[in-house]
Amino acid sequence: MVTGDKYRITVLTDRLIRLEYREDNAFEDRMSKTVVNRSFPEISYEERRSDSGIEIETKALLLKYDEKPFSTLGLSIELKNEGTVWHYSITYGNTDGNLMGTARTLDGCDGGLFLEEGIFGRKGFAVLNDSDSPVVVSGTEDGPENYSYENRKGEGLDIYFFGYGKDFFGGLKDFYALCGKTPMIPRYALGNWWSRYYRYTEESYKEVVDKFEELQIPLSVAVIDMDWHLTEVDPKYGSGWTGYTWNSELFPDYKRFLKMLHERKLATTLNLHPADGIRGFECMYSKMAKSVGIDPETEEPVEFDLADPVFRKAYFDVVMNPYEEDGVDFWWIDWQQGTGRSKDDVDPLFLLNHYHYHDQEKRNRRPMIFSRYAGPGSHRYPVGFSGDTVMTWKSLDFQPYFTSTSSNIGYGFWSHDIGGHMMGDKNNERLIRWIQFGVFSPVMRLHSSSSSFLNKEPWVMEEPYKGLMTKYMRLRHQLIPYLYTESRRANEDDRPLIRPVYYMLPDDERAYRVKNEYGFGEELLVAAITKPMDDELKMSAVNMLLPEGRWFDIFSGRIYKGAAMRKFYRRLDDIPVLMGEGGVVPMSLEDRKNGTDNPGSLRLYVGFGKDGSYEMYEDDGITMEYLNGSFVKTMYRAACGGEGVTIEIEAAKGDLSLIPGKRDYEICILGVEAAGSDKPVVSGDCSEISVDDARKMITLKVSGVESAEGAKVTVTGLRPAGNDHKKQVFDILDYAWIDIITKDWVGDALNRFDDEGFLEWLEEADLSETLKDAIREVYCDV
């Protein structure tokens, strides 16, 4: 620390500096809502003083300060390697090119909104303002569930300067060190959620679950919106928006209902609007009133106030915990009433998130919070509910950018109303595109308002939409082994599941312009399609920027040469999901039943061309025992050399009681074909080999692999494949809604010329630029 009259400067790392200024010299050492770690390792720096002020120099930064009230002229920090200089400012104007963070809610949005600032900027720096963040005033010795918070008193500045240049993952690692880790979420959160604001009954909700099972579409979470509780109450009590008493007309035996859902392997959440507290009509009112010192005969409402430890204890002991014992797995905390009744109140949304999280944690339940964002530090309480958006293309178009950009403030687990919540119009094409994004987002939760005309049940959809919903909802459950491993990586290695492209290509200016593309974990690049299809091509397009190397679309098998940016064209049944050479992605083959158990059969996608590995993580999915070492890791390795590849499934390590003793594997090697006329030769533990010429993929089946022993298989007689240019161009023409004469004309040229000649012909041809561009994409493998 460097201190002086009215200021304190703390060098936390060589790129992270805390700056405080207070007229009363009352600097803050307590934990705040945002900052939970005040203890950083010592860092070397040089301090110099002169008549003009002080200089503090670290390996990366040079701070100059005139020791007066913070000002633009008197306080600056230079990034020595970047050559950029920050001049003091905490105003929201984005003059420093902030890359932005996230927002409290998307409620009512038809498109985008202004985002709060994040910890990165185009000039290499950003500032996190913690000046108004509440602080912990007591309870630290008794654990987080007993912390008491209060807003800071007096005027002052408490800001954190992040000077990480383009080292985004380095900046996030130090942000999480400062503000707390992203915790592990329950495994069930990564499957399909069914949610609708609808007046369900016990029987009608069971019919929905039955129908999903009949169609073999897996679910993992059942959401019951606010009509689970009494909503029509005597006006003397106020509105029915807040409620805690089950509606026995709709759910005559709620315990039986919750048991039924659990028997179907569904976790359950109930919607909660807690603002009006517990009132006289509630079934638990008498007990609750006595707990807080109110005479029940008065029917005086028990006001909602989680800052009051007496109310807080009664709230959990009397209301929340009993319902959880009955089978409620977590709560959908739908706080909509602002940040408090007075300026002195600590934000009730933050308190709800904090206390609900730690109440579960202390009982060895894997905490699950489903609630709105309450400012920096909210990443400690996943999952986020983004709010009620309007069903339009504009809303869909904003969400991929919104979700990936949230990583700039460490917030990695947004859950959106997939398909949109309200208003808008019916558009099944848009719904499918939204579902595709939902499958490749942190949480896949279908939701809508209560309108009788707003149905997203697959069985009410005509084809092809019904089939596409089924395909992608099954795909979501296939992805869970990968998603769960990546959620562990977010927890352990501070690398969010969703990350902007510029995290991977920080020096490429184009990376800052692709809004719909994002890294989906360590191995995949995804681009969400958010625009309607072209009327002639019957395909939609999205911009993607690929890093160097060869890339493979895991769905179509199409091959791309990297270090390029272009539009990717896809039919309604497809979106670009790319894996690079050397990539390894584990997926489940069990995609027809509810739940998210550790699977007994797996598919491994492998990108041919380079060595690669992937360590899959598993645990019990629901408790805190993973913190005590109760988990399993299985390493998958791919070694490419010459005309072959060896795939090794190493022996699993850890608590093997958590996973099946034997597993069947399907290994799909992308971007490859036979090196000659003979079929590839396989040796080792493979029981079957098949070749998919259209997808340039070889599939190996390895059955009955002992988890404790592993397996190895080698395939030789291979070579890197290229796209089948003529066939893929033919398919584009065949699918397009253009006149047959034009199709024949292009098809004739396709057959007359070699690749180079055809592309030269194409440039001069009198065709729509969109058609030309879609055809060019086929040739992006060279």
Distance, CA of 286 to CA of 294 (rounded, Å): 9
Beta strands in 512-631 (DSSP E): 517-520, 524-527, 540-546, 550-553, 559-561, 564-570, 577-580, 584-588, 601-607, 612-618
Note the Cα 461 to chain centre separation in Å. 27
- The answer to whether 498 touches 407, Cβ cutoff 8 Å, is yes
Q: Indicate whether 92 pLDDT > 70.
A: no
Q: Indicate whether 329 pLDDT > 70.
A: yes
Q: Indicate whether 250 pLDDT > 80.
A: yes
**Range of weakest confidence among 276-280, 462-466, 679-683, 708-712:** 679-683
Task: Return the amino acid letter for 202.
Answer: E
pLDDT band at 124 (very low <50, low <70, confident <90, very high): very high
List for the chain the helix, strand, coil content (%; round to 5).
Answer: 30, 25, 45
**Token pair belonging to 106:** 């998307």
Q: Indicate whether 337 pLDDT > 80.
A: no
148 half-sphere exposure, CB direction, 13 A CA radius: 12
Residue of higher predicted confidence among 635 and 345: 635
- The answer to whether 609 touches 720, Cβ cutoff 8 Å, is yes
Percent of residues, the chain, with pLDDT higher than 70: 99
Residue of higher predicted confidence among 642 and 298: 298
414-456 pLDDT, tens digit each? 999 999 988 889 999 999 999 999 999 999 999 988 888 888 9
Neighbours of 131 (CB within 10 A): 16
Strands 662-670 and 601-607, sheet pairing: parallel
Burial bucket for residue 325 (CB in 10 Å: 0-12, 13-18, 19+): exposed
Give the pLDDT of residue 204.
97
- The answer to whether 465 touches 473, Cβ cutoff 8 Å, is no
CA distances in angstroms from 501 to 125, 487, 498, 518, 525, listed in the order given: 18, 19, 10, 5, 9
- The contacts of residue 317 (CB under 8 Å, 6+ apart) are 291
Give the pLDDT of residue 517.
98
Give the pLDDT of residue 779.
97
523 half-sphere exposure, CB direction, 13 A CA radius: 26
Only one residue has tokens 């009681």, namely 657
Neighbours of 457 (CB within 10 A): 16
379-411 pLDDT, tens digit each? 999 999 999 999 999 999 999 999 999 999 999
Select from 268, 758, 770, 166 the least CA-distant residue to 506.
Answer: 166
Distance, CA of 133 to CA of 151 (rounded, Å): 7
The average pLDDT across 636-661 equals 96
Distance, CA of 709 to CA of 688 (rounded, Å): 20
- The answer to whether 222 touches 267, Cβ cutoff 8 Å, is yes
For the chain, state the CA radius of gyration. Answer: 28
Q: Is 275 helix (H, G, I), strand (E, B) or coil?
A: helix
Note the Cα 636 to chain centre separation in Å. 24
- The answer to whether 180 touches 36, Cβ cutoff 8 Å, is yes
Burial bucket for residue 469 (CB in 10 Å: 0-12, 13-18, 19+): buried
Edge to edge, the sheet with strand 192-194 lists 414-415, 384-385, 369-371, 330-333, 267-272, 221-224, 192-194, 444-446
Locate CATH 2.60.40.1180 in the chain: 598-720
- The answer to whether 242 touches 315, Cβ cutoff 8 Å, is no
Give the pLDDT of residue 13.
98
Neighbours of 493 (CB within 10 A): 13
pLDDT band at 251 (very low <50, low <70, confident <90, very high): very high
pLDDT band at 199 (very low <50, low <70, confident <90, very high): very high
The average pLDDT across 27-45 equals 96
Give the pLDDT of residue 670.
97
Q: Indicate whether 512 pLDDT > 90.
A: yes
- The answer to whether 5 touches 25, Cβ cutoff 8 Å, is yes
Select from 195, 139, 732, 739 the least CA-distant residue to 443.
Answer: 195
In angstroms, the first-to-last Cα distance of the chain is 56
The average pLDDT across 151-164 equals 94
Strands 126-129 and 84-87, sheet pairing: unpaired
Give the pLDDT of residue 190.
98
**Maximum C-alpha span of the chain:** 92
Only one residue has tokens 């533990």, namely 685
Give the pLDDT of residue 641.
84
Percent of residues, the chain, with pLDDT higher than 90: 92
Q: Indicate whether 120 pLDDT > 90.
A: yes
DSSP string, 718-754: EEE----HHHHHHHHHHHS-S-HHHHHHHHHHHHHS-
Distance, CA of 261 to CA of 210 (rounded, Å): 11
Q: Is the peptide bond before 464 cis (omega within 30 degrees of 0)?
A: yes
Evaluate the CA torsion angle 281, 282, 287, 290 in order and state its sign: negative
Question: What dotted CATH number matches 2-179?
Answer: 2.60.40
Distance, CA of 696 to CA of 239 (rounded, Å): 61
Q: Indicate whether 339 pLDDT > 80.
A: no
**Token pair belonging to 772:** 């030309």
Q: What is the DSSP letter of 12?
A: E
Q: Indicate whether 768 pLDDT > 90.
A: yes
The average pLDDT across 314-330 equals 97
Give the pLDDT of residue 238.
94
Q: Indicate whether 342 pLDDT > 80.
A: no
**pTM listed for this prediction:** 0.96
pLDDT band at 93 (very low <50, low <70, confident <90, very high): low
Give the pLDDT of residue 154.
86
Residue of higher predicted confidence among 207 and 338: 207
Q: Whole-number mean pLDDT of the chain?
A: 95
Distance, CA of 583 to CA of 605 (rounded, Å): 8
Task: Return the amino acid letter for 754.
Answer: D
Give the pLDDT of residue 343.
76
Select from 383, 363, 360, 388 the least CA-distant residue to 373.
Answer: 383
CA distances in angstroms from 599 to 632, 636, 660, listed in the order given: 13, 16, 7
Triad 348, 349, 351: Cα angle to 5°: 60
Distance, CA of 556 to CA of 732 (rounded, Å): 13
- The answer to whether 595 touches 218, Cβ cutoff 8 Å, is yes
According to DSSP, the residues that pair with 75 across neighbouring strands are 65
Distance, CA of 718 to CA of 680 (rounded, Å): 6
CATH superfamily of 188-493: Glycosidases (3.20.20.80)
Q: At the top level of CATH, which class does the domain 598-720 belong to?
A: mainly beta
Distance, CA of 130 to CA of 21 (rounded, Å): 12
According to DSSP, the residues that pair with 20 across neighbouring strands are 8, 158
Residue of higher predicted confidence among 782 and 324: 324
Give the pLDDT of residue 678.
81
**Token pair belonging to 254:** 């709620």
The 3-class secondary structure across 65-106, one letter per residue, is ECCCCCCCCCEEEEECCCCEEEECCCCCCCCCCECCCCCCCC
Distance, CA of 630 to CA of 614 (rounded, Å): 20
Give the pLDDT of residue 295.
97
Locate CATH 3.20.20.80 in the chain: 188-493
pLDDT band at 336 (very low <50, low <70, confident <90, very high): confident
